[in-house]
Structure 1
Amino acid sequence: MDLKEHIRSIPDFPKPGILFYDISTLLAEPAAWKATVERLAEAIEPYRPALLVGIESRGFLTAAPLALHLGMGFAMVRKKNKLPGKTIKHTYDLEYGTDTIEIQADAVEPGQRVVILDDLLATGGTAAAAVHLLRSVGAEVAAAAFIIELSFLNGRDKLDLPVHTLISYDD
């Protein structure tokens, strides 16, 4: 099954000049979504993670069903002030400013093998920040996986770990 056929492209969203790759149409097609989860499972199983970590917010849609499929736990990396309880945060630079992500302090055990998931890898800034955050709490980040990669933005170059993607757009 060609998963690319189930991705909708929306021009000028969220601002003019941006072409947004929407996974809503993939999620709405059960056979395509099942194939996506199964292919991601095949890609990350060799890393033997104990926990999958989804990056807000579409990374939750990717990581949670995959964790269930693989019989393992799921944790969330979210924007600041979105998680209850004690959190650990990491602030990182954006093209114009900064952003902060957090994880609950007790979400990952020191030495625990994790794989990071999100729907899309673009510039790699948020994924690199998630890797940094997880390592700061003692996680062993084994790999990262994404449904879509915008390879022309070279985001994987910011990640010093194996990166798996199912769909690539080259321009």
Structure 2
Amino acid sequence: MADETTGAADNNAAADAQQQPPQVQMRILAQFIRDLSFENAVVQKGIPTGEVKPEINVQVSLDARKRPVDHQYEVITKFKVGSTNTVDSQTLFLCEIDYAGVFHVEGVPEDQLHPFLMIECPRMLFPFVRRIISDVTRDGGFPPFNMDPVDFVALYRQEIARRQQQQQNQRPEGVPLS
């Protein structure tokens, strides 16, 4: 009798395992700088005379593409960090970096893959990009710029809203919306 109970429990456990969604697996296989540029405009144009009040502007964009190997994706984070003097609007420095990661991703449903790649993967890369930008600005002759964390969820939502607005603006006259 004990054997029948154990067998039934094993069958129930197997059925439960089949009904559960697959576990999400993500590994960073590689990460690297694709492109890096730093321009110290202060040295090129001459040290500004008078008061300097720097203002930092950060722009972030993302890209992701499937690689030829199953379950592998390349995610590219692009940061453009510029500093201008608010007194005379002169550029102090400009740093541009494209930082990429190669990820192995399994178990993410197809309809959730795009947000996963554009939110979770950049979140994993961000601390490394932040350190590089801090080091480059320091090595470029400025105080290290420690970038605030980026809200990749908000960034993703903004991009989706921008694309939807663009699609609505491109609809020809007289075409129903639904």
What TM-score do the two structures reach when normalised by structure 1?
0.23
Larger radius of gyration: 2
Relative contact order: is structure 1 or structure 2 higher (C-alpha 8 Å, sep ≥ 6)? 2
Structure in which a larger fraction of residues adopt helix:
2
User: What TM-score does the superposition give when structure 2 sets the normalisation length?
Assistant: 0.22
